[in-house]
Amino acid sequence: MYQNEIRVLREKSPDYGVELSEEQLGLFQIYLDELCAWNRRMNLTGLSHRERMVLELFLDSLVPVPHLMETGRLLDVGSGAGFPGIPLKICKPGINAHLLEANAKKVSFLKQVIRLLNLEETEVIRGRIEKDVDSLHPDRYHLITARALAPVGQTIAWCAPLLRPGGHLVSFIGGRIEDELKENRQVMEEHGLTIYKRIPYALPGGASERTTIIFERRGIS
């Protein structure tokens, strides 16, 4: 049975268009317990309070879920402790997920979580997006996620070339969304990206509004 923090996730996720099954909630409980256990030995997240982890990491990762495909290849760039890649995989089990992370200890954590959750078609790749492109899928990705990776323009420059035509890049952006988009209009054009979905939201207990942008790559090679 899941604990109070996961009950919060169950109660709050429908506000963001996400309905979690009992099985999925159970997986999130295992994930949270393992995250907290490892976090006591090494700084995986910068958060120590379990409920804040659930809200700021788990729930935040689920915001784009209603707008994402059910199948295809996902690349989670700079996956860290697995956000948003592992929560997305839990919600979209038909996706083939690649988690790209450079830090060896975080790579070990990701592999352990994948084993514990028995996540099929989920692979951890040790590397950096700026220099280890050759280790990624040669046919590119239907979906790429980037959370706290780099400024928007740099994220686009790194990730857009790895998107298939019609693929989506999910970028978690702070409050200065209009300024960010205006400043990066040219790099969006250069990489054939348009805005597919703009999702403004706030997390429970959070004062500031956040925005997740889903970019779509035009049907070009």
Give the confidence band of 147 by pLDDT, cuts at 50, 70, 90.
confident
Burial of 120: CB neighbours in 10 Å, binned 0-12, 13-18, 19+: exposed
Q: Are 133 and 104 in contact (CB under 8 A)?
A: no
Per-residue pLDDT tens over the stretch 68-124: 999 999 999 999 999 999 999 999 999 999 999 999 999 999 999 999 999 999 999
* Position 11 pLDDT exceeds 70: yes
- The structure tokens listed for 119 are 């996540």
Distance CA 65, CA 221 (A): 26
Report the mean per-residue pLDDT for the chain: 92
Cis check for the bond before 84: say yes or no (omega within 30 of 0).
Answer: yes
Residue 125 has pLDDT above 80, yes or no: yes
**What is the mean pLDDT of the segment spanning 14-38?**
96
Domains and CATH numbers, the chain: 62-217 (3.40.50.150)
Say whether pLDDT at 163 is over 80: yes
pLDDT at 173 over 90: no
Assign 212 a pLDDT band (cuts: 50, 70, 90).
Answer: very high
What pLDDT is recorded for position 175?
A: 66
Decide if pLDDT at 190 tops 70. Answer: yes
